[in-house]
Amino acid sequence: MSEQQLIQSDIALSAEEIQQIDAELAHMPQKSGAAIDALKIVQRQRGWISDESLMAIARYLDMSPEALEGVATFYNLIYRQPVGNKVVLFCDSVSCWICGCDGVKQKISEKLGVDYGETTADNQYTLIPVPCLGACDKAPVMMVGDDLHTNLNNEKIDQIFSGQVSTTASTTESTAESTTTSEEEGS
């Protein structure tokens, strides 16, 4: 789906989304308690949380958009910008680093033509670093979509992304670290 189509489908919550959110609400003494679950439900359906989705959820949960935005932007696995069909969560934490994840990362970047926070031009993959996936005994590790890949090396990367042709990245810079950019020190 193109971004345009996504925005158009975001105008209201779908019946399915509402049904799932209602199921969560049944456990909550306050509506805002279902905020995280509602964001996850909508993200599962739409891939990411657009401004329009956020407004629709906020309205449904009687929250101000600011309050929900606070929740949405706190978690870096709630995507406030479009991501590819599958998100590659690549662990760059200490165990994986000891086991040589840097080289694997370089291989992924070459294979997909993207750096952290970028999406492949064919919109298949978005590469995001995560601090740990809880599988340090099998480091280096990453998740592609819902699948965990362990003991990574260059060959495995070729297998996992076989069929993927290296292209240049789309313009999206960063997903999780979205509100800030860095700049040289001023003085």
Partner 1 sequence: MPTIYIDGTAYEVEEGKNLLEACLNLGLDLPYFCWHPSMGSIGSCRQCAMVQYQNEEDTRGRIVMGCMTPVTDGARLSLQGDTASEFRESVIESLMLNHPHDCPVCAEGGECHLQDMTVMVGHRDRNYRGKKNTHRNQYLGPLINHEMNRCISCYRCVRFYRDYAGGTDLAALASHDHVYFGRHQDGVLQSEFAGNLVEVCPTGVFTDKPLVDDYSRKWDLQSAPSICVGCAVGCNTSPGERYGRLKRIQNRYNQQVNGYFLCDRGRFGADFVNSESRLNFAGVRQEDGSDKGSYKAIRADDALSEVAGLCQQGTVAGIGSPRASVEANYLLRRFVGTKHFSNGMSDVESALVNQILETLKNTRAISPSIHQIESADAVLILGEDVSNTAPRLALALREAARNKGRELAAEMRLEPWMDAAIKNLAQDQYSPIFIAGVHENRLNDIAEAGVSLAPDDIARLGFAIAAEISGGRAIDAVENLDADLSALAGTIASTLKAAKNPLIVSGSSLLNSAVIESAAAVADVLSNEQENVFLSLSVPECNSVGTAMLGEGMSFKDMMDSASQGNIDTLIVLENDLYRRAPSEDVDKLLENIKQLVVLDSLDNATLSKSQIALPTATFAESEGTMVSSEGRAQRYYPVFVAEDDRLASWQWLSELGQVLGLSGFDQLEHFDQVEQTCAGEIPALSGIASAAPDHEFRNRGLKIPRQPARYSGRTAMRADVSVHEPKQPVDDETPLSFSMEGLGVGQPSSLMTSSWSPGWNSNQSIQKFQDEAGGAIKGGSSGVRLIESGQSLGDGLNAHTRSVPTAFHPSDTESLLIPVYRVFGSDELSSQAPAIAEMSGDAQFVISSESAAKLEVVDGDGVSANINGVEVTLEACVDPSLAEGCVGFTTGMPGTESLVATAVGLIVSLRKADSWQRRKPQLIATDNPNAPTVTNQQSLQSGVSHV
Enumerate binding residues for partner 1 (CB under 8 A): 29-30, 50-51, 54, 64-67, 69-70, 73-76, 80-81, 171-173, 177-187
List the 142-144 sheet strands across, edge first.
125-130, 86-91, 142-144, 147-149
Q: Which is nearer to partner 1, 65 or 103 (CB)?
A: 65
CB of 5 to partner 1, least distance (A): 16
Q: Which of 51, 60, 46, 55 is nearest to 6 (CA)?
A: 46
Return contacts of 22-25, CB within 8 angstroms, 24+ apart. Answer: none
Q: State both tokens at 28.
A: 């909550």
CB of 35 to partner 1, least distance (A): 12
- Distance between CA atoms of residues 13 and 69, nearest Å: 17
CB of 91 to partner 1, least distance (A): 18
Q: Which is nearer to partner 1, 46 or 80 (CB)?
A: 80
Opening angle at CA 38, ends 33 and 43, nearest 5: 150
Q: Which is nearer to partner 1, 20 or 175 (CB)?
A: 175
CB of 186 to partner 1, least distance (A): 5
- Distance between CA atoms of residues 174 and 3, nearest Å: 17
CB of 183 to partner 1, least distance (A): 5
Q: Which is nearer to partner 1, 66 or 137 (CB)?
A: 66
Query: Does residue 84 contact residue 126 with C-beta atoms inside 8 Å?
Result: yes
Place of tokens 């932007």: 73
Q: Which is nearer to partner 1, 81 or 154 (CB)?
A: 81
The type of residue at 163 is G
